[in-house]
Amino acid sequence: MEQRLAVGRSASSPNPGSPAQQDARTPQAEQRLLGNAATAAAFGGACAVDVRPDQSHAILQWRSQERLPSFLETHTEELTLSRPGVWGFFQEPWLGRAVVGHVKWPGASWRAKFTVLPSLIAKQEAEAMKEPLIAAPEDFDEDIDGVDRMVTYEFIISSAGAEKAHDPVREPLRQKLRDITEPIIRDRIAPFVRARYPKAGAVCHSMIRRYLENERRSHDTHWDIPSYVSVVVSLDSAGLDFEGGFFVTTGSGEKSFLPLQRGDTVVHQSDLLHGVHVKRGDRWSWAMWFQDSWDCSSRAESWWQLEAEAGDPVAQTLRAMRASTQEESWTWLQSAARQSFPRAQLYLGKAHEDRGATQTAAGWYESARHGGEVDACFYLGLWEQQQGNLSGAAALFQQGAQAGEGKAMAELGKAYRDGQGVPKDPSLARQWLEKAADFTVEAMYLSHLAQASPPEGSAALFLERAARMGHEEAIRKFMEPLAKAKRWEEVMPWLLRLESKAALSQFVKLRKAGVPAQPFAEFRAQRLLADLAHQGFEDARQLLQEMRSAMAPIYQEAPSPMLCKAVALQAGALYASAATLPHASPGMQVTSPMPQPVHAGSPHMVHAAPTPAPAPPTLAAQGTRPRLGVARMVSPMGRAMSTSALHAQVRHFPGAAHAPVQTVPACAWK
Ligand SMILES: O=C(O)CCC(=O)C(=O)O
Ligand SMILES: [Fe+2]
């Protein structure tokens, strides 16, 4: 049966009703949303819920303001969302007013469309989602994000492939969240998504992200490459709970922040370049990805094929990022770059740099910068630095920093600190480092160091932020006073975050001495040790046994396949990845080529044959510092951004770029 979606039917849609009815944020309106939806669901009748916001709603105000960026066009649409109920009756669970935006790409006719559905989710629903997670702050994932290499702080509600979506300890919490979110997806989100994007199938990944003052403040500008349709629900209100938040951009440095209120929902596809920067306060969001299949096997290569073939540079760049071979990726990127599409020029620059062709890379970076791509300033600045042109480098960092690019801000701060290419200026150094501390882990820690000692006030906050975002030195420094004061219970999670042999031994010792640990922390420790034991590390096996003899085994299953997984690398994606960062630390070994993928629904993953234990001395000899966090990026398709970050890692290994399939079995135990 067909779903109904009436778009732009202001003439035929019901009247907005009384002012009280129009205000979706009044308690009555919230109640009506919940109550009527439940009634509609129970009786299968056409019981519409009217959540059309009035003009005072922030998103409508925003869109009617005069000075929207020139790359944005918007209009509003009256919507009626319906889904078939029982016995063939239609339910009309939602009447709303949407804001539709189009982002115009420079040098292309492409329009990236997004829709904001104000108040699609009720305030109580948003609060009900946050509440159990606020009560379990240690239950968030702390793996490394593929977009910006910082700790994710995400909680996966469900995922077709992500390993981290499957552990028994957090299952009750996941179930609680599924109970809240699934009816919302079924009754409100999916009807809209499938009506607007008829090829959309299942929700293959659903997660909550948090952005806290002492943790993550941003999510770097990116494309949701693996997602067919992405949906982001703000669980807090811009202007009230936080400043900034979700933005759309073209890479030109100009970011248009959508003043999303609690429950406002954004729907877009992977052509929308977007990110998050929370400038003040805390923000939570619920994000989900629809695939164009019902079994979560993505057919992403076919998206925008026709448009790419017809010569559109945006479509070509997106195609390059999902290409199945390196050659294919290269061809699409070159074609887009030659049409002066700045983002493709930036990626092509990175691709050349990865191949060692730094001069050619610099040429493409310069073209990208010339075309307005601010990320290019950072890469070009690094190149100038390598050439010994410090003032040229500083000028480029200045340009990037002033355009709001975080990595350039950090470099500019360091330049002022050291007097490299600019006169030494501690005050300017500190200003830029503090600005950059919303974006890079290094800047978080350097901002801490730039403050007065002993650490208190903002110095303490920057230290905690750096530590929570994975800076090893910051973790040690943050832990030190806790350990001195024998606050062992607080020390426990930090020992895990260090992920070293010494820290895990200490964790086990404290556990045996009766210091409590959160169940998920204990689970993580046991799984980590089991993985390492499985790889043949005898000392890890001993620690695990000690732990198990002293307390109930919380992790009893066979060792997680996480560290034994292999990735069928599409080497082309390596170069087109949005997430390739210059300072990625290699933490994996590439071993023999692997045969065909076996994982339905996660085409990039195969189970590895038994692999030899990695040899820490070899890695140590290379002067690298392997981190277990790297191995956790091997998340099957769920976090496909992680896959691209994985590619960024693997490119450090000789031969990796030329073999289409590589195994990446494990990290080292140190
Ligand atoms: O937190 C948000 O609002 C957006 C998150 C996002 O873009 C992502 O996870 O891909
Ligand atoms: Fe995203």
Distance CA 545, CA 542 (A): 5
List residues bridging with 100 in a β-sheet.
Answer: 75, 115
> Which segment of 154-168, 249-263, 381-395 scores lowest on mean pLDDT?
154-168
Identify whether the C-beta of residue 584 lies closer than 8 Å to the C-beta of residue 149: yes
3-state secondary structure 330-350: HHHHHHHHHCCCHHHHHHHHH
Arithmetic mean of pLDDT over the chain? 76
List the single range of 169-173, 507-511, 651-655 with lowest mean pLDDT.
651-655
Write down how long the chain is.
670
pLDDT at 328 over 70: yes
Q: Which atom of ligand 1 is nearest to the CA of 230?
A: 10
- DSSP-derived secondary structure letter, 555: -
pLDDT tens per residue across span 92-137: 667 788 999 999 987 788 999 999 999 999 999 999 999 999 999 9
The rounded Cα 101 to chain-centroid distance in angstroms is 22
pLDDT of residue 21: 32
The pLDDT tens digits for 550-587 are 776 666 544 333 322 223 222 222 212 222 222 222 22
Note the pLDDT of residue 150. Answer: 87
Determine the residue of 267, 285, 643 to mutate for testing ligand 1's pocket, defined as the one with the most ligand atoms within 8 A of the Cβ atom. 285
Q: Which of 164, 84, 176, 106 is nearest to 136 (CA)?
A: 176
Atom of ligand 1 nearest to the CA of 246: 3
> From atom 1 of ligand 1, which residue's Cα is the shortest distance away?
285
What percentage of the chain reaches a pLDDT higher than 70? 72
Task: Using the mean position of ligand 1's atoms as its centre, give its distance from the Cα of residue 94 in Å.
Answer: 24
Q: 481-507, pLDDT tens digit by residue?
A: 999 999 999 999 999 998 788 899 999
| Both tokens assigned to 476 | 């040690």
Do domains 5-290 and 310-430 share one topology? The answer is no
Predicted pLDDT at 16: 30
How many angstroms separate the CA atoms of 402 and 397, rounded? Answer: 8
DSSP category for residue 232: E
Strand partners, 286: 208, 233
Q: Which ligand is nearest to the CA of 235?
A: 1
The amino acid present at 320, given as its one-letter code, is: A
What is the Cα 44 distance to its own chain's centre? Answer: 38
Q: CA-CA distances (angstroms) from residue 403 to 317, 375, 397, 400, 638? A: 23, 9, 10, 5, 32
Contacts of 492 (CB under 8 A, 6+ apart): 507, 510, 511, 515, 516, 517, 518, 521
Give me ligand 2 centre to Cα 131, in Å.
23
Q: What is the pLDDT of residues 624-655, one digit of tens each?
A: 322 222 222 322 222 222 333 343 444 333 33
CATH superfamily of 310-430: Tetratricopeptide repeat domain (1.25.40.10)
Q: What is the tens place of the pLDDT at every residue in 254-306?
A: 899 999 999 999 999 999 999 999 999 999 999 999 988 887 776 666 788 89
Provide mean pLDDT across the span 443-455.
85
Residue 51: which of 76, 68, 31 has the closest Cα? 31
pLDDT digits (tens, 9 = 90+) for 20-31: 333 333 444 433
Pocket lining for ligand 1, CB < 6 angstroms:
209, 219, 224, 232, 246, 274, 276, 285, 287
Cis status, amide bond into 616, omega within 30 of 0: no
Pairing of strands 274-281, 242-249: antiparallel
Structural domain boundaries in the chain: 5-290, 310-430, 486-559, 562-650
Alpha-carbon distance of 255 to 276, in angstroms, equals 10
Phi, psi of 97 (to 5 degrees): -120, 120
Query: How far is it, in rounded angstroms, from Cα 114 to Cα 103?
Result: 8
DSSP track, 555-577: --SSPPGGGGEEE---HHHHHH-
Higher pLDDT, 536 or 79: 79
Count of alpha carbons within 13 angstroms of residue 105, beta-carbon side: 24
* Side-chain-side CA neighbours of residue 497 (13 Å): 29
Please report, for residues 45, 407, 512, 578, 619, the alpha-carbon distance to residue 225 in angstroms, rounded to integers and kept in the order given: 39, 22, 45, 9, 32
Q: What does the DSSP assignment read for 498-551? A: H--HHHHHHHHHHHHTT----HHHHHHHHHHHHHHHHTT-HHHHHHHHHHHHHS
At 42 the three-state DSSP class reads helix
E strands, 250-372, where? 255-257, 265-268, 274-281, 283-290
Ligand 1 center from residue 430 Cα (angstroms): 29
Q: CA 392 to CA 384: how far, in whole Å?
A: 6
Q: Which CATH superfamily is domain 5-290 in?
A: q2cbj1_9rhob like domain (2.60.120.620)
Helix (H) or strand (E) segment spanning residue 619: helix 616-621
